[in-house]
Chains A and B, each alone.
Chain A
Amino acid sequence: SYELTQDPAVSVAMGQTVKITCQGDILRGDFASWYQQKPGQAPLLVIHGRKHNRPSGIPDRFSGSSSGDTASLTITGAQAEDEADYYCNCRDGSSNHVVFGGGTKLTVL
């Protein structure tokens, strides 16, 4: 089975920029999506698709990018409310299974 690898934890000073990465071979074949999850809440889609689209209501400080087998979520000017767990996912085209990364806990200092 395929995997998506994320750093378990990342920290950023308030107002600074942070990049969260997601690495895996299946990212060469399809697009990553990114989710924010705060304690006790359902995940929230923040970035998706080939053009790294932001759903309505997601602040423009969230952006996505990708290169080869790595997808990235960048938060430019992190805010206290951005402290959360972040997950990537992607479809494995050979099996049509969806794979989630292990998640990155973001701490805003």
Chain B
Amino acid sequence: QVQLVQSGGGVVQPGGSLRLSCVASGFNFRSFGMHWVRQAPGKGLEWVAFIRSDGTQKYYADSVKGRFTISRDNLKKTLYLDLKRLRADETATYYCAKDLGATMVGGGAFDVWGQGILVSVSP
């Protein structure tokens, strides 16, 4: 069964840090690019970051660049997102998502999604 299982969310104070994890199963993890997407309560989807299948290319939304770091461990079939200097307006459900290709070919189509995990930034 193809799936992504997320962990690591929770409540953090403004300015704090958190690490999100996303464990893949049922597909060849090392062959596909991976993304993080977030959704604030009641709002739309916002792309956060992408990492190429081999980890050699990473791209970030302007709003998180310099504070968030995407990484992956292909041996552990795990994707990570390190969040630093969090702001209150970054309270959201964070999703990991699998790209259809290794390098975001085809416009960035996400065919497998994690269950989502809530990050709440609050004093």
Contacts and interface: CB of A to CB of B under 8 A. Distances in A.
B109 A45 contact: yes
B44 interface: yes
B43 to A, nearest CB: 9
A87 B106 CA distance: 16
Nearest to B44: A103
Contacts, number: 79
B104 A43 contact: no
A45 B35 CA distance: 14
B110 A43 contact: yes
A49 interface: yes
B95 to A, nearest CB: 6
Interface in A74-109: 85, 87, 89-91, 95-103
A55 interface: yes
A100 B62 CA distance: 14
B109 A48 contact: yes
A43 B4 CA distance: 13
Contact of A49 (B46, B62, B107, B113): B107
A98 B108 contact: yes
A25 interface: no
Residue from A33, A90, A98, A99 having most chain B Cβ neighbours under 10 A:
A98
Interface in B65-123: 95, 100, 104, 106-111, 113-116
Interface of B: 35, 37, 44-47, 50, 57, 59, 61-62, 95, 100, 104, 106-111, 113-116
Interface of A: 1, 30-33, 35, 37, 42-45, 48-50, 55, 85, 87, 89-91, 95-103
User: Which 10 A-B residue pairings sit nearest by Cβ, starting from the closest?
Assistant: A48-B109, A31-B107, A42-B113, A91-B108, A98-B47, A33-B109, A98-B108, A30-B107, A103-B44, A100-B45
